[in-house]
Amino acid sequence: MDRLGRPRMVDVSDKPATQRRAVAEATVKMDQETLTLVIDGAGPKGDVLSVAELAGIMAAKRTAELIPLCHPLPLTEITVEITPDRKTGTLVISASCATTAQTGVEMEAMTAVSVAALTVYDMVKSADRFVTINGIRLMEKSGGKSGDWRRPAPKVVEGAPGDPSGPSVPPGARVRRPRAT
């Protein structure tokens, strides 16, 4: 807010452009039968994983149009990866965004996982109305004045249930799935 209480976009013109990267994560919980449809590429609306990954990339590119006061950034890299976890009936969505700019790319990474998760929901809702989106969160960031940050690994207590938002996926983990021919 400015001194009169009006919204304003923060002026970053005096900040140096530096390399910045952010990784975000979300999880989508669903019935085991629905997860099998998704993994097999047999969802009611087609290849859920590929469409959701593409939707996440497209969303990251449009973040400044969706989030008020968010700076438009020249993104140099965007990756969105969805990894199924059959044991928990969960899809883990991870997005990584990079730029060389005067402000960070956390919002772009979180927008990517959010829209990818919403796309999964949209594509499977006719098969499973109980699909739940969980744990949209920043996992790590690098660059800028505040430097590097990484979400601490959850403490695991033997016999206790894990993080309710789902497991983290190491950067670069990728599910291999059959492609439609």
Catalytic residues: 122
Let me know: does 51 contact 85? Beta carbons within 8 Å: no
Q: Which two tokens stand for residue 20?
A: 């910045």
DSSP secondary structure string, 5-73?
S-------TTSPPEEEEEEEEEEEE--HHHHHHHHTT-BTTB-HHHHHHHHHHHHHHTHHHHSTTPPP-
Q: Which two tokens stand for residue 98?
A: 């990079």
Let me know: does 37 contact 30? Beta carbons within 8 Å: no
